[in-house]
Structures are given as structure tokens and as C-alpha cells.
Structure 1
Amino acid sequence: MQRVCFLLKVRQGRIDEYRERHAAVWPGMLEALSAAGWHNYSLFLREDGLLVGYLETEDFAGAQAAMAATDINARWQAEMGEFFEALDGDRPDRAMKPLAEVFHLA
């Protein structure tokens, strides 16, 4: 099982709305994530907008590709893209770059 952690930055003026959106993630999006192999997926948001994401999956590249192939993900990413800084025109799901794991206490 791969453990994946990534960072993104939510725009300061959009933090409250970002929290609200994630309090009511579309049921179809939740189903798509599970079907694509995203497990134990969590998002943590600091008050300054730093977003830390964590998930576990058998194959991160495959899980990303499976989500990219869904219509619901395309719609979600289109709506969520405006919440983030420094995407350089990319979608949030393509901008997340996994951090290198340097320690894990099993």
C-alpha cells in the first residue's frame, strides 16, 4: 500500500467556502474516489490556507488515472480550481505532487 501526502494552497479569501464544500462532497465523487482506489483519504487545512492531503492506495498513478477518466472528477476539479493558488493553469488533481516519505512508524 502506498501512502501519499501532498500540499496545495487555498486562497486566503476562499478558506471558509472551501471548508463548506468539503463538508458536503458530492456522493458521486465519494463513490468515484473509492472505486478508483483512494483509501483513508484526508485533507487538513491550516488557517493560512496550507492544505495537506493524505491517502493510501495500491497504485497512486493508477488511482489518479482512474479518477481522471471520470466525468464527475472533471466537474469537481473545474469547480474547485478557483480555490487554489499557484496552479499555473492546471487542475488541482494534476497539481498535487507527492512528498517524499522519509519516516513511518509502523
Structure 2
Amino acid sequence: MPRVCFQLQVKPDRIEEYKVRHAAVWPEMLRALHETGWHNYSLFLREDGLLIGYFETPDSVAAAQAGMAATAVNARWQAEMGEFFEELDGQAPDEGFLVLEEVFHLEDQLTRTDSEK
């Protein structure tokens, strides 16, 4: 299952409100994320607004994004949340994030090491 880590920048003056919004995400949005392949999804926020997200998906980032794009709730959520971020260049937050390259995964390396024995 692909693991995805991504980065966004929350505007410094919007950090507290961003936290409040994510303390009570709409139930319909939570269900849509789960149903479209956003599993084990977490967001981590640094004091300066650097946001790191992580999720696992059965197919690909593109498939997970396409699944959400097909839901009505995602359009509403992205419209409300877009104003919280810097440097999106007109994209919705779930399309404008920077995907980070995975360079190490403990279990993958352990599996390879164990299979070489």
C-alpha cells in the first residue's frame, strides 16, 4: 500500500483557526476520505505553520485525489480551507500539496534483510 507524505504551509495568522477546524471535521468529510482511500491519515503542524500530512492509500495519490474530487463534500471543504494556505497558485489544498519522496522505511528494509538470510 503506497505511503504518502505531503507538505503545505498554513498562513501564520490562521494557525489557531486551522486547528479548531480540524478538531471537528465534518462527519461526511471523514467518511468520504475513508471511502476514497485516505487511510491512516494524519496531519502534523509546526508552530510556524508548516503542515505535514501522511496517509496510506490502496492505489495511488492520483486515485485518492480523484476519488475525493468526485465527492460534493470535498468541493465544499476545499473551498473553505483554501484560504488557510500560502502558495497554492489557484489550486485546492488537496491538489496543491507538495508530495515528499520516501527515502527510508524500516519495515521494508527489515523485510529485505530478513529475506536475504
Percent identity, please: 70
Shift in Å, 1:42:
0.1
Report which of the two has the higher share of helix: 2
* 1:18 aligned residue: 18
Distance 2:64 2:50 in 1: 24
**One-letter amino acid of the counterpart of residue 95, structure 1:** G
* RMSD, aligned CA: 0.6
> Separation in 1 of the partners of 2:66 and 2:74?
11
Deviations 1:5-44 (A, max 9, x none): 0000000000000000000000000000000011000000
- Cα shift at 1:96: 1.5
Larger radius of gyration: 2
Alignment map for 1:11-90 (pairs within 5 Å): 11-59=11-59, 60-90=61-91
TM-score when normalising by structure 1: 0.98
Moved over 6 A (4+): none
1:57 Cα deviation after fit: 0.5
Give the secondary structure class of the aligned counterpart of 1:41.
strand
The gaps in structure 1 that reach 5 residues or longer are none
1:98 match: secondary structure: strand
Count residues with an aligned counterpart: 106
Structure 2: stretches of 5+ with no match in the other structure: 108-117
How far apart in 2 are the matches of 1:97 and 1:14?
20
